Chain A
Amino acid sequence: MDFSVRTDPPEIGDFRKEVRAWLQENMRGSEHLRWSAGWSTRDNEEEYQFRRELGRKLGRKGWLFPVFPVEYGGAGLTIDHHVVLDTELDRYGLNLGHVFYTVAHVVAPVILKWGTEEQKREFLPPLTRGEITVWELLTEPQGGSDAANCQTRAIKQGDHYVVTGQKVMVGYRSPDALFTLVCTNPSGKRHENLSWLLIPGNLPGITIQPMYLMMGLKNSVFFDGVRVPAKYLIGGENNGWKVANTHLELEQGGEGRVGTNALVERVVEYCQQTRVDGKPLLEDTNIRNLIADMMIELHVVSLMERRNFWHRFVRQPHPYGGVQFRYYQRMVRLRNAERLQQIMGYDALVPNPSVHEDVDFDYVVRSGPGRMHGGGTLDTDRVVFARRVGLGRPTKEKAPETI
């Protein structure tokens, strides 16, 4: 086995050097910026624009989706190139996944897998080149976890679908395109009545309203008789549940990651600087034990992420790795949220805009309870786990292939 993500196989050649030099050049001017988390309470226009632009620049080189074929906006490279790009971006605290504030990383693989040749050529490049921002709309007011109970209707009229309904708790900033699950056959059987639809963000009849949540701003999207050309339906009519499973697998932990987590370093730094009774907090045995547990659990989180990343790219989906990882990561977040409160008291509840949001104690503490539900709950994760392992059943549900 080889766990390394920073020593490259010979085929990589000078690629890491090239990427490093490119980033040195293109990250210039970002030194004073502090990155927002994927789901952010901060609102920093300069930071947002910098990352959008960085996304466009990476996209032009095919580097946002390095393993995608060139004709679909990728660079036709290998998993090892992807690892190089991700680890080099990681040095700046970023990763390919959400470098430019969109969910293209879970949507593009769906189009690649399910789209027709025409759809792939038309829809993929703007996404993969970082030109447009994308939202993914799944949750509805009546059915959070029960995504298949989809009430947003898309009724075929001629060569259009007429979409009416509401999606909630989605998106960030403004979208150029919305990817959503719609009901195309209201009288059809569950799981066989849905379709996966791309909706251009500028069509008439779309209203977006902000929702103020624990982890920052999200949105409610209303569709009121929105006429969507039929060519935007991806993967075939009434086949939407299968299509959605591709991005659900990615969202539910199957995407994987090779990046690092700087939280422990930040906590240690705090404990070295903070003195109690004349001694640094880091000398306290109880504090040291808490930090040791944090270290170990975050390390296990990153190993599971790396495992999932690898399984995805070698096209051997881990049977239950996605949901297992996501459930574990969320439980670790909860435990770490409490550990931070134990270690630093009220300081754990005070935002600090001078650090990246991912390691801002206030954000980390709120992430415990606040980020338990995005893309499915702790409970749906365990339900999926049970199906994949075949608990109480003779058969095991297969993990969907993703890319």
Chain B
Amino acid sequence: MDLRLTETQQMFKKVAADFVKAEAPSHLLTQWFRNKATFLPELYGKVAELGWLGMLIPERYGGAAVSFTDCAVVFEELGCAPVPGPLFSSGVLGALLILEGGSEAQKKSLIPDICSGKSIVIAAITDGGAGWGPESVETRLNKTTGGFVVDGAKRFVYDAEGATSFICAARTENGQITLVVVDRQSPGVSVTPQIGFMASVCEVRFDHVQVTDSNMLGEAGAGWQILDRALEKALPILCAYKVGACQEIFDFTAEYTRTRVLFGQPIGRFQRVQDHCVDISIHLDAARWVTYETLWKLDAGMPATASVHEAKAVASEAYYQACNFAHMVFAGPGTDYQHPLMAHSVLAHTLYQYLGTPLYHKRKMMELSYPSGEK
């Protein structure tokens, strides 16, 4: 047992923390989220230069090939801000999808550009929106002479705005799910920002989009297995991002209790206010330790699937609840879009849904731990 970060990890963390301080200070962040300008090409380019896209990817495809925990400490710091943009959705999940499902030629042609930030590859999974399982995939993939046609409307595609390609989950005529790489510039692809209490979410329509064999990722029908494999590695990184966000919320809320004076004393002297901070800390540390234990399992090559589902459930819930308890402390001013809490709050709601709700992942965890159905 050793619960310390390594020296390298501490260094990674420091570099990322300095980056956040310099490039994503809270006054800019609040503006970005308020104006829904969460895709910032310049900022994204800087992230790419630092080597934070494709951190989990082997070096031969342009990645950094660091451990899961190494990657997580960087994303934890990025989550503190929270730094927006497709850092996770393309740099981690998009790259891993191609690594897990692509042919050697696809890996060589697609992944290096993801790592350099030149291309942004985003998974488009949900159709109906409410479900994240394979049963919810409705977009169709029909064979034509010389190729295939994709038809469907993917709702709630996170980070679609800056995408250069999509990895679309589609159902073939015989009902199998296949992943298809679709260039954003293909005729029939349209991207529309979605209105609502969420950040960086678009609807992506595929209207009779022509694709060829070379656009297929993996074998026909292997789509969901590829997605599962990529998610198992990617989700804990997203969890670490949320851990960072929770830490930031805890820190700035605690600081507020020292400086905000009401009824003649700092509000942190009121035990009800203290209680909210206790609750934030519990959600923060639940997310932190479940996440880092999962990362350790992945790094150690242990079975981690159930842990990954658990971490996603705990971290999503933690981020959401940390915001809620912080809102209790900040009251009115915390609901102003100029306040840093609002960036977190809108993102916490978005990420609560993104790639599956806590209940969805708890059920998956339970199913793996204690399968239903009589033996």
Contacts and interface: CB of A to CB of B under 8 A. Distances in A.
Interface of A: 1-5, 79-80, 83, 258, 268, 279-280, 282-283, 288-289, 291-293, 295-296, 299-300, 303-304, 306-307, 310-311, 320-321, 324, 327-328, 379, 382-383, 385-386, 389-394
Which of A304, A307, A389 is the most central at the interface, judged by chain B CB atoms within 10 Å of its CB? Answer: A389
Given A4-B1, A83-B1, A394 B313 contact: no
A324 B282 contact: yes
Nearest to A323: B278
A258 B369 CA distance: 21
Contacts of A390: 254, 258, 268
Secondary structure at the B interface, as helix, strand, loop or mixed, is: helix
B366 interface: yes
Interface string B335-375: 00000000000000000000000010011011001101110
Contacts of B297: 3
A280 B370 CA distance: 13
A394 to B, nearest CB: 6
Contacts of B359: 289
Contact of B274 (A1, A279, A385): A385
A390 B255 CA distance: 9
Given A296-B310, A392-B266, A382 B366 contact: no
Given A299-B310, A310-B1, A390-B258, A291 B290 contact: no
B279 to A, nearest CB: 10
B274 A386 contact: yes
Interface in B306-357: 310, 313-314
Contact of A393 (B5, B266, B289, B370): B266
B174 interface: no
A316 B370 CA distance: 38
A389 B277 contact: yes
B69 interface: yes
Secondary structure at the A interface, as helix, strand, loop or mixed, is: helix
A289 B363 CA distance: 7
A391 B1 contact: no
Contacts of B370: 268, 282, 288, 291
Interface string B188-207: 00000000000000000000
B42 interface: no
Contacts of A4: 1, 300
B257 to A, nearest CB: 5
Nearest to A331: B282
Contacts of A295: 310, 365-366, 369
Contacts of A280: 374
Given A389-B254, A392-B269, A1 B372 contact: no
A356 B209 CA distance: 63
Contacts of A392: 257-258, 265-270, 273-274
B223 to A, nearest CB: 27
A282 B270 CA distance: 44
Contacts of A328: 282
A391 B277 contact: yes
Interface in B16-53: none
B94 to A, nearest CB: 27
Contacts of A3: 1, 3, 292-293, 296-297
A310 B292 CA distance: 15
Given A1-B2, A2-B2, A382-B278, 20 more contacts: A1-B5, A1-B295, A3-B293, A282-B370, A283-B373, A289-B366, A292-B365, A296-B310, A303-B286, A304-B285, A310-B2, A311-B3, A320-B281, A327-B278, A328-B282, A382-B274, A382-B275, A391-B268, A391-B274, A392-B274
Contacts of B8: none
Given A3-B296, A307-B3, A379 B362 contact: no
Contacts of A379: 271
29 contacts: A1-B2, A1-B5, A1-B69, A2-B1, A2-B3, A3-B1, A268-B370, A279-B374, A292-B366, A295-B365, A299-B290, A300-B314, A303-B289, A304-B285, A306-B3, A307-B3, A321-B285, A324-B285, A382-B275, A386-B271, A389-B277, A390-B258, A391-B269, A391-B277, A392-B257, A392-B258, A392-B274, A393-B258, A393-B268
A285 to B, nearest CB: 8
Nearest to A282: B370
Nearest to A280: B374
A383 B271 contact: yes
Contacts of B366: 288-289, 291-292, 295
Contacts of A389: 254, 277, 281
B269 A296 contact: no
B33 to A, nearest CB: 27
Contacts of A289: 359, 362-363, 366
A125 B369 CA distance: 45
Nearest to A300: B286
A224 B269 CA distance: 41
Contacts of B1: 2-5, 79-80, 83, 258, 306, 310
A283 B366 CA distance: 11
A365 to B, nearest CB: 22
A34 B278 CA distance: 37
A265 to B, nearest CB: 10
Interface in B48-90: 69
B146 to A, nearest CB: 46
A383 to B, nearest CB: 7
Contacts of A268: 370
B10 to A, nearest CB: 12
Contacts of B369: 295
Contact of B289 (A300, A391, A394): A300
Cβ-closest 6 pairs across A and B: A392-B268, A391-B268, A303-B289, A392-B269, A392-B266, A386-B274
A206 B88 CA distance: 67
Contacts of B293: 3, 303
Nearest to B317: A296
A324 B278 contact: yes
A311 B268 CA distance: 27
A269 to B, nearest CB: 10
